[in-house]
A and B are shown apart, each in its own frame.
Chain A
Amino acid sequence: MTKMLLKLSGVRTAYGNIEALKGVDLYINEGEIIALLGANGAGKTTTLASITGLVPPKSGSITFDGVDIRGTRTEELVKKGLIMVPEGRRIFPGLTVMENLKMGAYVLSDPAGVKRDLEYVLNLFPILATRSKQSGGTLSGGEQQMLAISRSLMGRPRLLLLDEPSLGLAPIVIRDILETIRKINKENRTTILLVEQNANLALMLAHRAYIMTTGLITLSGTASEFLNDENVRKAYLGG
């Protein structure tokens, strides 16, 4: 009884004359964690940008919850619950942690619900509560990533798009964050699309995965299939 939440078929996106996506097909069911893997320049971030409307695709179709969303403005998608944690965290450095979190609930207008969400994320990452009055720029990298994830949760995502959450973080912090992502997925049935270069870690977390090379999805399957496949291990997981 799983329901398809997001479906991309034949999505082509270009920056000027350079085609970054050459017909991407993928789908995500409700409640799943999907890993999108691939090397630098494979088109992972462009795929996210195409979904969120930051870079509108040239052709193909993107449906979210059964509705065609190609060409819909980013802010409309955020209202629908399609929320991205951008690459490199991009928290608001001059605003306090609390203000950053409240900014995440910009599209919502029920104070009681926002307060409940605030409690939830501060329980998820208690360190943010002790840092609440500090400006975002003074946080460490790991704390900033926690803040970025919390901030996006404040917008009540149905589909959370995470772009390289492990980028530049210490292994122990990465493990913490990935555990929390699993927790978010379990507790709220938030569907998650995780873009990662660290394939090993992503596959431990994900239910299914896609591998991209030069603008195309070249492999897809369940996480355990990937982890047991000899060729995949050699090519992507370091033996």
Chain B
Amino acid sequence: MSVIRQDVSLASIFWSELKSALLATLWMCLLAFPLMTLTINPTEKTFIFSLERMPYLAGGTFVLSILWRFFLKRRAFQGITKAVHQSGGLPEDLTKGPKPTWVTVVMGLRHKRLGFFLLLAFTIVLPFVSSPYTVNIMVTALIYVTLGLGLNVVVGVSGLLNLGYIAFYAIGAYTYALLNHYFGLSFWVCLPLGALTATLMGLLLGFPVIRLSGDYLAIVTLSFGEITRLVLNNLEVTRGPRGISYIKPASFFGIDLNAAPKEFLIKWLGVDPSMDINKIFTYFIILALVILTIVCVFRLENSRLGRAWLAMREDEIACQAMGINRTRAKLTAFALGSTWAGLAGVVFASHITFINPASFSFLGSILILSIVVLGGMGSIPGVILGAIVISALPEQLRFFSQYRMLLFGALMVLMMVFRPGGLIQSTRVVHIHKTKGNGQARLKALTGAPKPKTGGYS
């Protein structure tokens, strides 16, 4: 019965929004008052009030709050119009699939191959034309890509919330560090060994958690991560919190890359003279590993096992009713997900040459999880983008010095409100048939064969 007059509602919306924004400003000012205005003068033991900062804070909060509310309202409004449009009785609209967005345009099928080769060329050329600092960041970013893709198998594809993923990374790193420290084994021997150890540990963790899912699984995996760190911290063999230093970087057929090859590269390719060529080599190792991971994860996702994982994520009871061995699906998801963490761990140890338990804190697990969530659960390009954003963003935000983590958090919140599916949402593989018309024609197109007259069973 209620008929809302548009002009009245718009005005009232405006006032209510303004009021909320003012309230938010007041709240923020109160909250940030001690943080922003009070500093201590240690020599005279007095407080220094810098109240002149407050107007900036208030103004900034007010503007941001108004913007925030505007975008939220706009989003809600778009949602309403879309719903109205759809209830207009156009079922065909639903079958057309999602509307093209900037992401689908950028990732458009037509230029996919070209884009792929450009990207590959860019990543290959990059270390030769950039500074050692950039190469360092890129190695870290690519390690995170591997970790993100590995965790994506567990969380994104299989739907098992693993909050202790960093433990497998630590296991990979320590496998190399210890074998190198005590037995002098080389990087190339330890790379598969690290992966194997992590996989086995994944299996080991998998067995007790077969019956668990959701929150309970999250708690157990979280504890596993912490236990691993504490064990590494307290063992005599791992040298406790002192960690293991002087881990050898990966070797290139025993050739010292910083001797003759370096001079060659500087002379002919104009490489930065301050560059450590070993880092470039590590960069290429991790790049190759990332490509291998992408290929494997892609193949896995579209395999029989991948479908079992998807079914398990969607509904555990229905997945059993389909004849899927839930135990096996869960264990393989855990084990294979951990493999990538192990590989990344070995590369990390060889890259950074010093590891201690503090490098594998709970925050690391959360960071990798944010990569998967931010990038888009179950979406391979999404996770890659997420990893690069997460590892590069804190570096880019250095300009804001001590506020950078705060800003990072704010960006995450914005992300979750406005793009909850992640940067690049995962899309189901869609089989497109161009036929239009009646149901029979569609049916023919779908099954690719003439319609039988009687039942298809034999």
Contact = CB atoms under 8 A, between A and B. Distances in A.
Contact of A138 (B94, B314, B318): B94
A123 B449 CA distance: 12
A155 B456 CA distance: 13
Interface stretch (B123-131, B224-232, B320-328): B320-328
Given A90-B315, A106-B307, A79 B323 contact: yes
A52 B457 contact: no
Contacts of B320: 54, 74-75
Interface string B304-323: 10011011011101101111
A5 to B, nearest CB: 16
B324 A106 contact: yes
A135 B431 CA distance: 13
A13 interface: no
Interface in B270-313: 304, 307-308, 310-311, 313
Q: Which of B94, B323, B446, B449 has the most CB of A within 10 A?
A: B323
B446 A129 contact: yes
B42 interface: no
Contacts of B34: none
B94 to A, nearest CB: 6
A15 interface: no
A78 B447 contact: no
- Chain A interface: which size bin? 35 or more
Contacts of B325: 73, 75
Contacts of A85: 321
A95 B314 contact: yes
B314 A133 contact: no
Contacts, number: 127
Contact of B428 (A95, A103, A131): A95
A7 to B, nearest CB: 22
Contact of A119 (B91, B95, B322, B449): B449
B97 interface: yes
Interface in B113-157: none
B421 to A, nearest CB: 11
Contacts of A135: 428
B431 A130 contact: no
A95 B322 contact: no
Interface stretch (A21-29, A110-118, A198-206, A224-232): A110-118
A90 B318 contact: yes
A119 B315 contact: no
A116 B451 CA distance: 10
Interface string A162-191: 000000000000000000000000011000
Contacts of A237: none
Contacts of B431: 98, 133
Contact of B94 (A52, A107, A123, A134): A134
A164 to B, nearest CB: 14
Given A52-B321, A83-B321, A106-B324, A122 B446 contact: yes
B323 A95 contact: no
B46 interface: no
A221 interface: no
A78 B97 contact: no
B100 interface: no
Contacts of B94: 134, 138
B457 A187 contact: yes
Contact of A92 (B311, B430, B454): B311
Contact of B323 (A93, A99, A106, A115): A106
A197 interface: no
18 contacts: A74-B321, A75-B323, A83-B323, A86-B317, A91-B318, A92-B311, A94-B314, A103-B310, A103-B322, A115-B447, A119-B447, A119-B456, A123-B451, A129-B439, A129-B446, A130-B91, A138-B94, A156-B457
Interface of B: 91, 94-95, 97, 304, 307-308, 310-311, 313-315, 317-318, 320-325, 428-432, 439-440, 442-443, 446-449, 451-452, 454-457
Given A134-B95, A156-B457, 19 more contacts: A75-B320, A83-B321, A91-B315, A94-B313, A95-B311, A96-B428, A99-B310, A106-B308, A106-B322, A106-B323, A107-B323, A115-B448, A117-B456, A119-B456, A120-B452, A126-B443, A129-B439, A132-B446, A155-B323
For the complex of A and B, the 7 pairs showing the least CB-CB separation, nearest first, are A78-B323, A120-B456, A92-B314, A107-B323, A187-B455, A90-B318, A116-B456
